[in-house]
A and B are shown apart, each in its own frame.
Chain A
Amino acid sequence: MADKKKTMGSGVTAIFRKQIFIPIAALLLLAVFNLIMDPSFFEISFGYNSAGHPVLTGNLMTILDYGSEVAILAIGMTLVTAASGGQDISVGAVVAIAGSVILRVLVGLGGDGTLQAPIIVGFLAACGAAMLCGAFNGVLVAVFKIQPMVATLILYTAGRSIAAWINNNELPSVTDETFTYFGGFIPGIPVPTPFFIAVVCIVIALLVLKFTNLGLYTQAVGINAESSRLNGLNPTFIKWLTFVILGLCVAVVGLIKTSRLSTINYSVIAKDIEMDAILAVALGGNVLSGGKFNIMASILGAYVIQFLTTTLYKFQVSSDALPAYKAVVVIVLVVISAPAVKEKIAAWGKKVKAQKGDA
């Protein structure tokens, strides 16, 4: 019995290690690289921003700040991936819609930038709009069985025009200072607010996973929908639900994005952010064809991507070359997670072990 316990224990750690190993390894690699090239990368300085509030600045803060947006999206994207075996590529466009709704509600058409409604109302309206978009995608995927990438291509294409239409193609700007807190700093707290928002989202996600069966259901549906149906689950509804949840995550990111500059540009806001979110899911070692997932690994993956981006900026890599570097990461990931390579690595590991044993 004791023996059995032991193998069980090591089995658990082995699985855990496998899943979260990739993002941790990537993070360490980047950290070590920066440590060697220029240790000042890790410096954090304390100061005051132009509004007179205390702020911490430095590359690490930048990573926490911008990585949080992708981290929040990664939560929803992980669930969508797990249940539907596909990805939502309309995320960036829906961020534009959510942001546009916030501006429309808070400022209104032709407004002078003063608040016409409490911020929370604007945010709730954005949640409604983004979840509606998610529901639309969800219906296409779950009910009409359209491939997720194809289904979400519709909003990917049309979303930014819709966002522009919501504000009659004007670009209103919020002048109220409290609105800048969400994408900036809350007075007196020197850590960027997006990080706290991400933490809240992560905690909520973990609580939901702990106190509901969302995790079990999405995984079961993603692995074997027919079997899940025969166990009393409703795969259609669960797939749909994951898209709606992603919609909620998108609304939160829309708030942060809009708050950063108090306005947005519909055609470029959150451009290509869906690719970062999908990459975060992949970097977290989650299988992109659905099934088992690990949310924490995805979130870590999101921060690793921002770490990479910030590192590249720091070394003045041309910013239009960034996608190429991310592509390299994707290639490496795909290769090391391919079954053939995994087997080879395992066999090689065994050999090394055996040789050590002999010696």
Chain B
Amino acid sequence: MNEHSVLEMKNIHKSFPGVRALQGVDFHLCEGEIHALMGENGAGKSTLIKVLTGVYEKDEGEIYLKGHEKPVVIRAPHDAQNLGISTVYQEITLCPNLTVAENMYIGRGKSKLTNWKKMNEDADRILENLGIPARASQQLSDCSIAIQQMVAIARAVDMDCKVLILDEPTSSLDESEVEKLFGLMRDLKARGVGIIFVTHFLDQVYEVCDKITVLRDGRLVGEYVIEDLPRVKLVAKMLGKEMDDMADIKSEAKPYEGEDEYVIQAEGLQSDAGIKPFNFYIKKGEVNGFTGLLGSGRSECVRALFSADKVIAGTVKKNGKPVKIAKPLDAMKNGIAYLPEDRKNDGIVGDLSVRDNIILAAQVLRGFFRPFSKAEANKFAEEYIKLLEIKTASVDTPIKSLSGGNQQKVILARWLLTHPDYLILDEPTRGIDIGTKVEIQKLVLKLASEGMSVTFISSETDEMIRTCSRLIVMRDRKVVGELSAEELNQAKIMETIAGGDM
């Protein structure tokens, strides 16, 4: 073990029933280093992290830590914590109903008694040191997600950690919040903490990291210094093939060449989720999108179109004829499909098999008394597994054991199976790997060229520019503009989102 290393993992193996998640992976982290762990979903990043934090027990291999002669034994998260390995997950794992200080010290007291005053003072000092704008006595749920994330980090840091793992910490943060987080990371780096950073955002990797380790299909691809690995090559390493199609997928796809007819028209539509009434239309074969900052109301708009929230005003026409859409089933019967933003809570039915998840919506449309036969269901499932290249052990595998990207593809398959006229995709690319993102974007354009109308929502503006021909811009829960053709560029979009004053 070289003297600057804080962590070395050697020849790690881990298998699950039917899957070999890690095969002989090495990983090496130095002091004062921010090290990106990259790979597609299912590449083994999460498994590697979980082996390191004691959530899973490894089948084979050794883990060395600085200050320990022999390989360390990590059997439970508790062991990892005691060895100075701390983790901050994508989902906040703190208790929102406790104060900031309580969250930082919970479960750590050696004595049964707590000196509240001292605890609060200590917590305030740490928060100040790290430049985190929160007070110790504040209730955690009153803080923004970003601050909560930082409190989680503060807790980890105060536990005297040598290795800090950040598992997708930025996916729910806005830009300025990300900046703050990076400031904190650099600060920690200067103090000699080794940081493992897991993310899907390439920009962020290049902004903050020193080294990159790439995994693919449970194997190590390689470890690279950041300067030696330009983006294109990184993507190529992750996907295992050279990527030249990132540039402009829109030009490849043929636009739809049918007649110009309105599929959905909405007027004065309003739901109880707190958006202002809005008008909307989409034509056959068109791809449009809602854009705006988080919380601007873009998801609420499409939810209103699908009647996912209770619609309280407005009219909807389908193919020019007024229709009544009072609940999701009505929308489905009118050929509308909706892939929700929150995959875990609104999308997947976790314990059900991939097959049942795929046929669910089509089955509901078909009716209670007309179930698909097992053979039919399997045929559909296998067809879409092949079509969308869904990686699953079998059609009977529970969907929850699939990686995020593959889960998303299953949900997509579910809606495609209903052969909708109008497909709403709310953040279909969030939290999934680049390869799948591109596949989904390509698929959207292909579907549109075949005559399907698609609404595509993404937090990443470049994705929207690549796929949409028209963008509806939202701010403060109302529609503030519509952009198309030449207006579709980053600058113009930013300007519209920010408002006229810019």
Contacts and interface: CB of A to CB of B under 8 A. Distances in A.
Given A224-B349, A291-B351, A347-B57, A229 B371 contact: no
B361 A232 contact: yes
The binding surface of chain B is classed by DSSP as loop
A336 to B, nearest CB: 18
Given A211-B371, A229-B328, A230-B328, A8 B394 contact: yes
Interface stretch (A73-81, A107-115, A213-221): A213-221
A333 to B, nearest CB: 19
Most A CB within 10 A of own CB, among B329, B340, B394: B394
Contacts of B396: 8, 11-12, 15
Contacts of B367: 213
Interface in A210-268: 210-214, 216-217, 219-220, 223-224, 226-234
B127 interface: no
Nearest to A346: B17
A14 interface: yes
A211 B374 CA distance: 11
B5 interface: no
A159 B327 CA distance: 37
A291 to B, nearest CB: 5
B345 A227 contact: yes
Interface string A171-207: 0000000000000000000000000000000000000
A224 B308 contact: no
A230 B393 contact: no
B73 interface: no
B346 interface: yes
Contacts of A7: 18, 393-394
B68 to A, nearest CB: 25
Contact of B349 (A12, A14, A210, A228): A228
Contacts of A232: 327-329, 332, 361, 364-365
A217 B328 contact: no
B348 A224 contact: yes
B363 interface: yes
A216 B345 contact: no
A28 B361 CA distance: 41
Contact of A11 (B349, B369, B393): B393
Contacts of A15: 396
Contact of A216 (B328, B350, B356): B356
A213 B363 contact: yes
Interface residues of A, number: 30
Contacts of A211: 369, 371
Interface in B17-71: 17-18, 57
A12 B397 CA distance: 9
Interface residues of B, number: 35
Contacts of B414: 231
Contact of B371 (A213, A231, A233): A213
Interface string A1-38: 00010011001101100000000000000000000000
B368 A217 contact: yes
Contact of A223 (B346, B349, B363, B395): B349
A143 to B, nearest CB: 16
A233 B308 CA distance: 12
A227 B348 contact: yes
Contacts of A4: 394
Interface in B339-353: 340, 345-352
A292 interface: yes
A291 B350 CA distance: 9
B98 interface: no
B364 A233 contact: yes
B407 to A, nearest CB: 12
B480 interface: no
A79 to B, nearest CB: 14
B345 A224 contact: yes
A232 B360 CA distance: 9
Given A232-B329, A291-B351, A227 B364 contact: no
A8 B395 contact: yes
B243 to A, nearest CB: 28
A232 B332 CA distance: 7
Interface string B394-415: 1111000000000000000010
Interface of A: 4, 7-8, 11-12, 14-15, 210-214, 216-217, 219-220, 223-224, 226-234, 291-292, 347
11 contacts: A7-B394, A15-B396, A211-B369, A216-B360, A217-B368, A220-B352, A227-B345, A227-B348, A229-B328, A231-B332, A234-B327
Interface of B: 17-18, 57, 306, 308, 327-329, 332, 338, 340, 345-352, 356, 360-361, 363-365, 367-369, 371, 393-397, 414
The 9 closest A-B pairs by CB, nearest first: A232-B329, A8-B394, A232-B364, A224-B349, A232-B332, A291-B351, A231-B361, A223-B351, A213-B371
